[in-house]
Structure 1
Amino acid sequence: MSKFPRDIIVDILTCLPVRSLIRFKCVCKPWKSLISDPQFVKLHLKRANEGNNINRRRLLVAAEPLYSCVDFEAASDGDGVNAVMELPYPSAARGAESFSSASIRGSCDGLVWISNGDDVHDIILWNPSTRESKKLLKPSSSVQKAGFLTGLGYDSTIDDYKLVIACLTTANGSNQIMAPEVFSLKTNSWRRIQGIRSGITLEGYAGVFWNGALHWLGKQETGADHDLDVIFSLNVAQEKFMGCVPLPKHFCTAVLSISGNCLCIFGKLHPDESYFEAWVTSEYGVKTAWRRRYSILFDRLYMDYFSAEMCLTKKGVLMDHHGCPGTLQLYDPVEDVTKLLRVKNNRDPMYDSVVHTESLVSLR
């Protein structure tokens, strides 16, 4: 192997899955050093995020057994055997008797933020691909169990991963963001940041990281009969909330997700809620350029409860039926074919899930 130029070796290795690269660290010391190098890790992640390289994406399901990693592309190709894989507890959570169930609070670059049930103070950052995990310090503010927003993002200006958490107060029946805090993985500390202006209410509590910002669904007061459905964002590097962007249409229900380099919205539409649609954008601003990717008759989908996690696949749409225990649906709108996947869940049928990208990103 020493006869091959280093750049060719690097080019080949950055195309491989994490599981293979971890094994290849044992080949020789130069390979171990190469695969552990931060620049290689960044290049491997860049390759994973390029274009429509969705073979590196996984759906992490917080069921019992605690987690299952679902390779939905394998399932789309008819490989049901390798579609679902059980994962053990992250090492940072083992031995904690109080860690009874897991809630997912955010995902970025292969890292996943999990908490012990509704206790957002019990924070573990975890890379399911490498199995590395780390228990983090508690935020200083008193976050109420019933109301908070969270998010995990990356600050490329200082090469740092940041966690965002904020209290919500229910005033006049709405959720307003209060006392937001940011945790820096590099400094291992929390700090308070400026909040968002009034007139914005929350619809989704777990933020989606895309294009340097965390995004949440919400509503903006307009003074009319109906509030405006919007996406509001926080710039992770500047640690400031940005302006709101309207949704492409008035959704009855909606979910944010990421597919490749695009921000996606999935949901049922008003007025008759008979259609399920998927919209995507690769640009973001006050007038975001949304494109409709799919429009599907709702009765073609096996949905007795609105799914809380979705993403685009090579052949269609993946939907996670939180209200139908352990059911994942892969729908191909071209062939009008549905495949159902089952994951074990021995506890509460309601569980969290998140789409994440395989990566070698370290918590050290």
Structure 2
Amino acid sequence: MADVAPFDVVEQILVRLDVKDLIRYKSICKPWRSLISSPRFVKAHLNHSYNNDRNNRQLGHRRIDVWIDVPVSYSSCRKKLDFVGSCNGLVCVSPLNVEFFVTNPLTLETNKLPKPPYMISKVVCWGFGYDPSADDYKVVAGFDSKKLTRFYALALKSNTWKVIGEVKSKSLKDSKGVLCGGALHWLAKNNVIISLDLSTEEFKEIPLPINEECEDDRAYNKLGVIEECLFLYSHYYRLPTKKWVMKNNKWELYNDDHCETKYNVVHSLTFVVDLNKKTSDVIIYDDSRLVSCNQRNYTCASHVFVQSLVSPHPHVDVNSNNYDGQKRNVKV
């Protein structure tokens, strides 16, 4: 009889596998299913995925496509998809007005969130990210309220919206919040970035680099994330493009010469929207492809993505009031 590998050795092997393989291996036996579904394993696999990508010398980043059309077969309801954010393998999108979905494209799990209250005013910004202090994920939406932008947040565990603060309207230039260092960031006029800490729910302003390109209203500025740092792409008519990164709370010019041989992996996500029935279904369009690390569209505009088993359906144990696992409501 062949020797059976110790269970801890099996775990160390499984944690190194791709998500699609792990989903298949859950059907091998109950112990494997229990292990792969456990919160401890999900976090260990997530950490391994981040470290594996970080240490890959050929890989720049994994990115998720920002603008995706529905398939041609659904031409009667063709619509652009509003991308809200990406974090730890979860992707948040808004296919219909202020309708939010959080999905894991690899496990095919999707969570349709309740609509925010008081949607009379216009949505001016939004974002999605992880709150490490609560081990929870948050969707943030900012609405026009006279001369203020009123921010609402929904935590996946509570599944309810609440007001988290108001900011004086500064004519936000970009509606999509960029997640970096546990905070969401939006470009605004007056040469500042509005930052929201997802744990403390406190706002602050970050000045742009002291440079005529960044400070001119005619300049094209775009936020992103490069090597886990906040990234600013600044372009001004007839002047050379400049790239900045925030390190130790200071802006530095970014030298991307070392990225010339690297490539970003781009993953695509598609929603099908039936405008007549006002319903949305998730379709995973597996169109992963490589693009140059220096290609502007994916360096600046696309959010970082990582392979993970994280579920968009967290639930709370009513007896202990602690997060104890992940509900597996799979929608195919």
| TM-score with structure 1 setting the length | 0.65
Give 2:107's aligned residue: 130
> Who is 1:330 aligned against?
291
Q: How many residues align?
A: 278
Tell me the amino acid that sits aligned with residue 59 of structure 1: I
Match of 1:242 among 184, 196, 204: 204
**Corresponding residue for residue 266 of structure 1:** 233
| Structure 2: distance between partners of 1:248 and 1:13 | 49
Give 1:178's match in structure 2, choosing from 149, 172, 181: 149
SS at match of 2:110: strand
Q: What is the CA–CA distance in structure 2 between the aligned matches of 1:140 and 1:195, rounded to whole Å?
A: 15
Q: Name the CA distance, whole Å, in 2 between partners of 1:257 and 1:266.
A: 8
* Pairwise CA distance, 1:112: 1.4
| Equivalent-residue separation in structure 2 for 1:136 and 1:107 (angstroms) | 16
**1:231 positional shift:** 2.3
The 3 A distance-change label for structure 1 pair 4 and 258 is farther
Which residue, 132, 147, 151 being the options, matches 1:156?
A: 132
> Is 1:35 equivalent to 2:36 in the alignment?
yes
**C-alpha separation in 2, matches of 1:319 and 1:275:** 27
Q: In the alignment, which of 62, 69, 92 is matched to residue 64 of structure 1?
A: 69
- Give the 3 Å change call, closer, same or farther, for CA 62–199 of structure 1 in structure 2: closer
Aligned to 2:262: 315
Shift of 1:267: 3.5
**Alpha-carbon offset, residue 318 of structure 1:** 8.4
SS in structure 2 of the partner of residue 161 of structure 1: strand
Whether contact under 8 Å (2:242, 2:253) holds in the other structure is no
Separation (CA, whole Å) in 2 of partners of 1:277 and 1:159? 36
Match of 1:191 in 2: 162
- Map residues 213-232 of structure 1 onto 2, 5 A cutoff: 213-220=183-190, 228=191, 230-232=192-194
Q: Identity of counterpart residues, as a percentage?
A: 32
2:221 to 243, 249, 254: 254
Aligned equivalent of 1:141, options 92, 106, 118? 118
- 2:282 is aligned to none
Give the deviation of 1:319 after TM superposition. Answer: 10
Higher helix share goes to which structure? 2
Are the aligned partners of 1:52 and 1:260 in contact in 2 as well (CA < 8 Å)? no
Could you tell which deviates more after superposition, 242-251 or 255-264?
242-251
1:312-332 deviation line (CA, Å, top 9, x unaligned): 796167899xxxxx9x99346
Q: 1:314 to 1:24 in 2, by over 3 A?
A: farther
- Distance across 2 between alignment mates of 1:21 and 1:234: 35
For structure 1, the residue ranges without an aligned partner over 5 or more in a row are 68-87, 90-96, 221-227, 296-311, 321-325, 342-351
- CA shift, 1:274, in A, is 4.0
User: Against the structure 1 CA distance between its residues 332 and 193, is the aligned structure 2 distance closer, same or farther, given a 3 Å change threshold?
Assistant: closer
Unaligned ranges ≥5, structure 2: 268-286, 314-332
- SS of residue in 1 equivalent to 2:133: coil
Give the whole-Å Cα distance in 2 for the aligned partners of 1:248 and 1:318: 33
Retained in 2: the 8 A contact 1:167–1:180?
yes
CA distance in structure 1 between the partners assigned to 2:142 and 2:208 by the alignment = 23
Q: 2:89 aligns with which of 99, 110, 113?
A: 110
Q: Counterpart of 2:117 in structure 1: which amino acid? A: S
Contact 1:105–1:115 (Cα < 8 Å) also in 2: yes
| Shift in Å, 1:243 | 3.0
Structure 1 residues 105 and 98: CA distance shift in structure 2, 3 A: same
Task: State the match for 2:195 in structure 1.
Answer: 233
Give the CA RMSD over aligned residues: 3.7
Q: Secondary structure at the match of 1:130?
A: coil
Are the equivalent residues in 2 in contact too, given 1:125–1:135 (CA < 8 A)?
yes
Question: In the alignment, is residue 8 of structure 1 matched against residue 13 of structure 2?
Answer: no
TM-score, normalization: structure 2?
0.70
- CA change 1:231–1:17 in 2 (3 A) is farther
Kindly indicate whether the alpha-carbon contact (under 8 Å) linking 2:62 and 2:265 is maintained by their aligned counterparts in 1. Answer: no
Alpha-carbon spacing, 1:289–1:143, altered in 2? closer, same or farther (3 Å)? same
